[in-house]
Amino acid sequence: MNRKKLLLIGSGGRPFREYALKAISERVDVILVEGREITWQEPYVKGFHRIDPDDSEELLRVAREESPDGVLTYDEALVESTAEIGRALGVPHTDPEAVRRCKDKSALRACLTEAGLGPVRFAVAHDVDAARAAAAGIGYPVVLKPRALGGSIGVVRVDDEPQLVAAFTVAAEASASDGTTSRIAGVLVEEYLDGPEFSADCATWQGVTTPVVVAEKAVGFAPYFEELGHIVPPAPHPGLDEALSLVVDAHKAAGLDNLVTHTEFRLTGRGPRIIEINVRLGGGLIPLLGTLAQGTDLAGASADIAVGRQPDLPGARTGVAAISMLYPRQDMRVDRVRLARDTDAYPGLDRFVTFLPAGTEVRLPPHGFLSRVGFAVVSGADREECLARRDAVEADVVIEGESLGAV
């Protein structure tokens, strides 16, 4: 295989993204642009530039200097600038306008409604009074969310008007652990979508979108939507084929091409409805679950697409893989996260990872989002074996620390 050069903008955090960087480096020569010195990334890169990825002029200067065959990011905050760089260099890229359309959750809602693809009632509110009027018009329950944040941060269900004021504040002021807030003002108010939730990681190559890794999702901490885990592939469901057709049509309507995406959807009582399309490789190690269960390499495929090479998508396995995100049961100062036995005692345990320094304060929604203290990935020959192994690991997780008082 001819080695091509890829400019990768941002590498993410090691626990959740090392597998992706490793897979990408096996397909192409990676030139990494990062805003900090590299450590664990070093074995996977052929070149490195330490610059602020938000400095668009410096980023473009480095990109032109390197003259790569393609550019790529799997960082939610960097998808727009990456698309702009791709267009400026004339390498395979996604239309920046299509990227912006998906980044703004209200713009995507409008696009899908106009195309007649699973319309969802929604409005944008810039203050509580506007949110109250929007919710009354849509009908409770509704969901409030920031217009441009990922990871379900600040997303909250509201069942009646008395809950609205506090929920609006949560959505309007939400931020990630690194301080990132929505770059688009306003709160999206939309009808609540009932039914089980899934995701589809897709590859779009020369206008053809292929769902590659479909995952069953578990969410919790209601009325919030923390993602507690994923299973690949999902259990059979009569609405899944229709939903995946909707996902493919939505990519076309949004104008997406030359990329890997992560789409979330629900199978509602009125048919499938898309929650959002993320114009990047899925998070939560879902693509890795696809590798373990199916033998697919979606991270590697994202690199191939970025450098203009047709991706190799089919997988050869028929197993099942799952990830459990580990949370404390209450707000805690966490000292240690461990398993009751050695990791070798758990069949099918692919990895058990913790990543918080001792003494870290962990608060659950609404005072903290993505409040994970670690994760466990397991696999099995079939669904029954995989879930039994997952449950055995979950039952043996020990989180040591001290309970925190109310905020």
DSSP-derived secondary structure for 261-317? EEEEEEEETTEEEEEEEESS--STTHHHHHHHHH---HHHHHHHHHTT---------
pLDDT tens figures, 244-253: 999 999 999 9
Which residues, at least 6 apart from 43, have a Cβ–Cβ distance to it below 8 Å? none
The per-residue pLDDT for range 157-197, each reduced to its tens digit, is: 999 999 999 999 999 998 877 777 888 889 999 999 999 99
Per-residue pLDDT for 364 more than 60? yes
Q: If pLDDT is split at 50, 70 and 90, which confidence band does 1 have?
A: low
At 269-281, the pLDDT tens digits run 999 999 999 999 9
The residue behind tokens 């668009």 is 56
- Using the structure block, give the residue that is written with the tokens 């993505």: 370
Which distant-in-sequence residues (6+ apart) come within 8 Å of 188 by Cβ?
105, 106, 109, 122, 123, 124, 144, 145, 146, 147, 171
Q: Per-residue pLDDT averaged across 249-258, rounded?
A: 97
Predicted pLDDT at 177: 72
CATH number of 121-191, picked from 1.10.10.10, 3.20.20.120, 3.30.1490.20, 3.10.129.10 = 3.30.1490.20
The architecture (CATH level 2) of 319-407 comes to 2-Layer Sandwich (3.30)
CB 144 within 8 A of CB 167: yes
End-to-end CA distance of the chain: 56
| Helices vs. strands in the chain: H and E counts, helices first | 11, 19
- Residue 407 — pLDDT band, cuts 50, 70, 90? low
Beta strands in 12-121 (DSSP E): 29-34, 47-50, 70-72
Tell me the CATH number for domain 5-95. 3.40.50.20
Radius of gyration of the chain measured on its C-alpha atoms: 21
Task: Flag whether pLDDT at 373 surpasses 70.
Answer: yes
Q: Check pLDDT > 70 for residue 62.
A: yes
What is the rounded average pLDDT of the residues 216-242?
96
Q: Are strands 70-72 and 5-9 parallel, antiparallel or unpaired?
A: parallel
Residue 312, pLDDT score: 87
* Mean pLDDT, residues 261-266: 98
In b/e form, how buried is each residue of 142-153, taking b as 16+ CB within 10 angstroms? bbbbbbbbbbbb
Average pLDDT value for the chain: 95
* pLDDT tens digits, one per residue of 18-58: 999 999 999 999 999 999 999 999 999 999 999 998 899 99
Extents of the domains making up the chain: 5-95, 121-191, 319-407
**Distance between CA atoms of 164 and 133, rounded to whole angstroms?**
11
Backbone angles phi, psi at 372, to 5 degrees: -85, 145
**The whole model's pTM is what?**
0.95
Order of all β-strands in the sheet with 187-191: 122-125, 187-191, 142-146, 156-158
- Confidence tier at 317 by pLDDT (50, 70, 90): confident
What SS3 state is found at 153?
coil
Q: Is 255 left (phi over 0), alpha (psi -120 to 50) or beta?
A: left
User: What residues have CB less than 8 Å from 60, skipping those under 6 apart?
Assistant: 85, 88
pLDDT (average), residues 393-403: 97
